């Protein structure tokens, strides 16, 4: 469980940094479409791992009878889809910042879980 | 006989100005990230056979490449509906058709309007399951339903939907200049196409207009599953399905384009009330 949380923390951190880097340097009109394509595939892989990690952690917490944590993890799982649903190209920057903020909150939450897990 | 070509906004319109009687017309739509350029020769062919032909540039296409990111499938549907309402009253026989996204829009229009003389659906794209869909396609749902869809793009790559190498090279050169089509598919536009396809599939039984479906066995973007789905589920009393063996997605430019042209004419002639009038009129003017 601890190793799963560490992996989730790393993926989460990488996701935040990659999204910021992408916004600032990669996703520009002047960038080669191929580079943009591969970078977005890389982001999708990270997001896929992050979502899979959240689900795995939520299930694991249910198995160890710590039911309070699972709803929060599932909430973080749902957030990217909810934000995606309301996002529009016109307000993309705003929604991307919102997404980064959610990733940050989830990062802090998973760190909190990791720290507390060690004390159980 | 006069040809009126309006190029300023990329629409390609060919109208016989001096006709006495209401004639027959075809309204054609291009594919996703394409332009009316891909219908040009086909339109000219139909024009020579007595049709007035209207090839409109769909919203989000033809102007600034960024426009396609903010376009919604509702915009495409409204645009097609408006053009149809504008033109339908002027003609006795009115055909609607298209390639790829254009074919899906034609089907959608036929679900809402029962007075279309015939539908011409070329490489109908209801499922994205062709053989050039990249290996990382399994990640698509992650991209489609999150903000990544505005970042994710599929670059256009060989074979560009064309089997004929000579034509492929020409198209590839033109595409690199962004003059005939965009050099990548933004995922947001694929998302809108898939939303539209889903709607069309759900209401497929509402299609009653006679239909000609043309699809290539080796289509690189969408397999024959799409055309077969339409053929097996529509309520049309008259339906024809032509399967091509030596083409890819852009059937109007590939090895069997002549067969597609001739089949279209055969199909439209069989349905046109005005065919004899149009031909006589054309012959008398020549």
- Give the mean pLDDT of A37-50: 90
Residue B174 has pLDDT above 50, yes or no: yes
- CA gap B90, B141 in Å, rounded: 44
Strands B93-99 and B153-155, by their bridges, are unpaired
Specify the pLDDT at position B267.
Answer: 93
Q: Say which of A29, A44, A80 has its CB closest to residue B66.
A: A29
DSSP state of A23: I
* A82: number of Cβ within 10 Å: 13
DSSP assignment of B31-76: -TT--GGGGHHHHHHHHHTTEEEEEEPPTTSSS-TTHHHH--HHHH
- The CATH code for residues B12-131+193-285 is 3.40.50.1820
How far is it, in rounded angstroms, from Cα B215 to Cα B196? 19
Please say whether the beta carbons of B4 and B18 come within 8 A: no
Average pLDDT for residues B64-87, to the nearest whole number? Answer: 89
Q: What pLDDT score was predicted for residue B180?
A: 56
Whether the CB of B275 is below 8 Å from some CB of chain A: the reply is no
Number of structural domains chain A divides into: 1
Nearest residue, CB atoms, A22 vs list B66, B142, B151:
B151
Task: Determine how β-strand B153-155 pairs with β-strand B184-186.
Answer: antiparallel
The CA distance from A97 to the nearest CA of chain B, in Å, is: 11
Question: Residue A115's pLDDT is what?
Answer: 86
Question: For residue A116, what are the contacts with CB-CB under 8 A and spacing of at least 6?
Answer: none
CA nearest B100: which of B153, B144, B161, B14?
B161
DSSP per-residue string spanning B89-124: TT-SEEEEEEETHHHHHHHHHHHH-S--SEEEEES-
Q: How confident is the model at residue B111, as a pLDDT?
A: 95
pLDDT for B22 beyond 60: no
Judged against a pLDDT cut of 80, whether residue B8 lies above it is answered with no
Q: Which residues span the domain enclosing A30?
A: 2-117
């Amino acid at each position: 469980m601890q190793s799963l949380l560490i992996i989730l923390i790393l993926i989460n951190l990488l996701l935040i940094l990659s999204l910021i880097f992408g916004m600032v340097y990669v996703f520009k009109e002047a960038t080669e479409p191929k580079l943009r394509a591969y970078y977005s595939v890389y982001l999708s892989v990270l997001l896929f791992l992050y979502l899979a990690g959240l689900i795995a952690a939520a299930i694991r917490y249910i198995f160890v009878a710590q039911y309070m944590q699972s709803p929060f993890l599932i909430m973080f799982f749902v957030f990217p889809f909810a934000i995606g649903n309301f996002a529009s190209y016109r307000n993309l920057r705003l929604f991307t910042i919102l997404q980064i903020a959610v990733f940050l909150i989830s990062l802090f939450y998973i760190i909190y879980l990791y720290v507390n897990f060690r004390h159980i | 006989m006069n040809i009126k070509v309006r190029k300023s906004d990329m629409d390609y319109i060919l109208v016989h100005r001096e006709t006495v009687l209401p004639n027959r017309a075809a309204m054609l739509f291009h594919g996703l990230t394409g332009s009316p350029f891909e219908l040009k020769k086909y339109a000219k062919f139909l024009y020579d056979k007595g049709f007035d032909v209207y090839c409109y540039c769909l919203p989000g296409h033809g102007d600034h490449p960024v426009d396609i990111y903010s376009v919604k499938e509702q915009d495409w549907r409204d645009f097609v509906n408006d053009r149809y309402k504008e033109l339908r009253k002027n003609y006795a026989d009115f055909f609607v058709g298209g390639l790829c996204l254009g074919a899906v829009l034609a089907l959608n229009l036929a679900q809402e309007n029962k007075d279309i003389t015939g539908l011409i659906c070329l490489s109908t794209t209801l499922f994205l399951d062709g053989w050039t869909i990249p290996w990382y396609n399994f990640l698509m749902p992650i991209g489609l339903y999150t903000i990544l869809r505005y970042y994710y793009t599929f670059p256009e790559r060989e074979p560009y939907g064309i089997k004929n190498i000579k034509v492929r090279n020409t198209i590839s050169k033109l595409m690199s200049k962004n003059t005939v089509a965009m050099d990548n598919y933004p995922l947001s536009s694929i998302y809108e196409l898939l939303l539209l396809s889903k709607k069309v599939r759900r209401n497929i039984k509402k299609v009653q207009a006679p239909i000609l479906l043309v699809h290539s066995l080796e289509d690189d973007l969408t397999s024959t599953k799409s055309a077969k789905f339409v053929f097996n589920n529509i309520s049309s009393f008259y339906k024809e399905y032509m399967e091509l063996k030596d083409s890819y997605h852009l059937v109007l430019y590939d090895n069997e384009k002549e067969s597609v042209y001739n089949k279209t004419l055969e199909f439209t002639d069989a349905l046109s009330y005005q065919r004899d009038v149009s031909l006589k009129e054309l012959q008398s003017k020549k």
